[in-house]
Structure 1
């Protein structure tokens, strides 16, 4: 599920606990895709919105992970996951739209089910592109807006406000694919597919990689 970029005193801890509990199920849904996308990652990885650390299982032991996670309620579980998987963790309590990393400094950036929650996803993508080294890689899995006049589109419309509130800003109707296509990456590979699960509003998804 999406990570949250708010520090709500009630929903923040609840979501942190929920993401931790759902880690195994998320691995069932996305494990194969993530292993393929993260394959041959470098020693240092930046992850936007790592939440409770569900993606650490796909990183090599000893990897340095720079975690861009503004939700302080996620940090305890992030540290526990880092210990479990042998990850050298550095947490930055900042948002993806305003990262303090230098230009052209990172080889590999990860973002999974997060662009739905950031306040300005286009700016976040621009920041990712800025910090990537030339030929640096950005890998992503995101849920996106369904095609109009479909059952999933109807469900997204009906559940939009409660879903947005409960998941602290998770927007089920973002056209992230178009934003990525407009970002000016030198190479962009996107696969559109449906991920069927009880989480119907996030059924239509994309995955792929962008190269600066």
Structure 2
């Protein structure tokens, strides 16, 4: 298949998956609050007046931000934008959407105090490049807070399920890797300090167990 055909095929697929995923994540935002709300409140409680979010999707994290917060949303899926705006209006967030990927952030060096991502580093094409971009835009002592699902232990039942379902999951959820070792990536990314909690938070979304949550400082 030529590169042009691949691009056309991906465009067609995204026109199918994009609207479905936008509806899906907007619809389950309340359930996601049940699953991860406590962790998010703790991680986001001291956020600055301007926040950069990598892959905000339909805006599930806005409920944890202070009213009046300026949110710079790095969201390449244009099908998410309508629900992003709807959610921002609901929670009083000043929203600025950038239709770019986490690997190509166009913000200046050392320009923001607070970057966050939840269940996103699994989907980017080049996670190391994305993390390097996050470090680049953070001010000295700026914080990156995260909740991510990660690769399960080798030869475990969870690992078997992750590998078994990876291909269909990867296609439907627009590039999500069920078995990416994001924990090791963050630990070796060169942050001045990182606090990370590794845990199993069980839910019907079995392929995205286990998870990590934490805070990294530039």
> What TM-score results when the alignment is normalised by the length of structure 1?
0.96
CA deviations 1:90-115 (Å, max 9, x no partner) are: 00000000100000000000000000
Distance 2:124 2:54 in 1: 10
Residue 17 of structure 2 is aligned to residue 27 of structure 1:
no
RMSD of aligned alpha carbons: 0.8
The 5-angstrom pairing of residues 68-83 of structure 1 reads: 68-83=74-89
More helix by share: 2
Q: What displacement does 1:189 show?
A: 0.5
Higher relative contact order (CA 8 A, sep 6+): 1
CA deviations 1:32-84 (Å, max 9, x no partner) are: 00000001111000000000000000000000000000000000000000000
Alignment gaps of 5+ in structure 2: 1-9
The 5-angstrom pairing of residues 48-63 of structure 1 reads: 48-63=54-69
Residue 163 of structure 2 is aligned to residue 157 of structure 1:
yes
Q: Report the 3-state secondary structure (helix = DSSP H, G, I; strand = E; otherwise coil) of the residue aligned with 2:61.
A: helix
- Corresponding residue pairs, total: 207
Larger radius of gyration: 2
The 5-angstrom pairing of residues 96-107 of structure 1 reads: 96-107=102-113
Q: Which runs of 4+ in 1 moved over 3 A?
A: none
